[in-house]
Structure 1
Amino acid sequence: MDLIRIGDKVVSRYKIDFLISEILRLRSSGLSQTDVAGRLGIDRTFISRLENLGEVRKGKSVAVIGFPIANREEVCSMLSAEGVDFILLMSESERWDYVRQKSGIELFNAIMDIIAKVHSCDQVVVIGSDKRINLLRAVLDKEVVGFEIGESPLKEDKLVNPAELLAVIRAVKARN
């Protein structure tokens, strides 16, 4: 246990870390600041100050999905650094592996889970073929920003220009 002496007090670093983790877990699960404060026996204003201290950005949540992407790791890293909330990028081989590794019902459930996660985001950017972008616009029934990398069907990995995609992401976030 990390015990730290501050004047005449002994403070537990573990207790502080645990409490902060619990606050963030409960808040991200949808509980209000007041509910979390009541449950943990702390002051609601502490939770507000904690969130303000750790705030990275305000605004609506952004999801980016795309395939087949040759420079997937580079693009994923850039999107993470930009604070994108949900990222699902695959190369062509990853896409086929994903499909082959699951039974029919497992694949159906996995796709439904992905759709639910993407649909929960306020803004969606789709990297893919013209046909896939239009299909996801219909399925999600919300504004989808397309970043076309070729005409359907795409059967090989395509390079995504990170600078162009970054400009799109920043434009989408600026609309928030």
Structure 2
Amino acid sequence: MDLIRIGDKLISLTKITGTLEEMLALRQKGMSQAEVARKFGIDRSFLSRVESLGEVRKGRTIALVGFPLKNTAEIERVAREEGVDFILLMTDRERWDFVYKKSGIELINEIMNWIYRVRQHDVVIILGSDQRIRLFRALLDNEVVAVEIGKSPMKDDAYVEPEYLREIIRKVRED
């Protein structure tokens, strides 16, 4: 049973856990502490303290963006093992499917959302062509760590050595 009694109150631990998970999910999606606190009728400082209770590491947040990649699953596994905060990887096929399966407004909205989410991170690691790297550097205020995987226009997926990426992520974390 997940109910506990404190004085004359009967408290559901499941309800508390579910609410906290919902709050943190909204924070993870980019909502501010003030917005989440307002939504749940709590003080922003309480939410800040809850986040501090669960904090595992402080430091630079990292986003990883890469396309067109041959070994997206391997690269994603390494990125997750190394604690990368945001991962967006695609093969050439996935990239073109993404473009062609969306309406113009859907495409713009999703790209703008990705740019917004990537900009929330301190460092962005880009695995891309020479032109994509230049574009990302122009669009982002963040520190950009570029790994050129080919010259534009790229028509084939590029293989990225997973351990090379692991070294880059670790060096970024050290700085």
- TM-score, normalised to structure 1, is 0.79
Structure 1, unaligned runs of 5 or more: none
- Identity score, percent: 45
Quick check: 91-100 or 165-174, which moved more?
A: 165-174
The corresponding residue for 1:154 is 154
Question: Structure 1 residues 132, 5: closer, same or farther in 2, change over 3 A?
Answer: closer
User: Can you list the C-alpha shifts for 1:27-58, whole angstroms capped at 9, x where unaligned?
Assistant: 553226xx58x9348x94x963x544532321
The corresponding residue for 1:14 is 14
Question: Structure 1 residues 119, 18: closer, same or farther in 2, change over 3 A?
Answer: same
Matches within 5 A, 1:57-136: 57-136=57-136
RMSD of aligned Cα (Å): 3.0
User: How far 1:22 sits from its partner (Å)?
Assistant: 4.6
- TM-score, normalised to structure 2, is 0.80
The corresponding residue for 1:3 is 2
Question: Structure 1 residues 26, 107: closer, same or farther in 2, change over 3 A?
Answer: closer
Tell me, in whole angstroms, the C-alpha distance in 1 between the residues paired with 2:97 and 2:27: 35
The corresponding residue for 1:171 is 171
Aligned length: 169
Tell me, in whole angstroms, the C-alpha distance in 1 between the residues paired with 2:24 and 2:88: 24
The corresponding residue for 1:30 is 32
Structure 2, unaligned runs of 5 or more: none
User: How far 1:118 sits from its partner (Å)?
Assistant: 1.1
User: How far 1:133 sits from its partner (Å)?
Assistant: 0.8
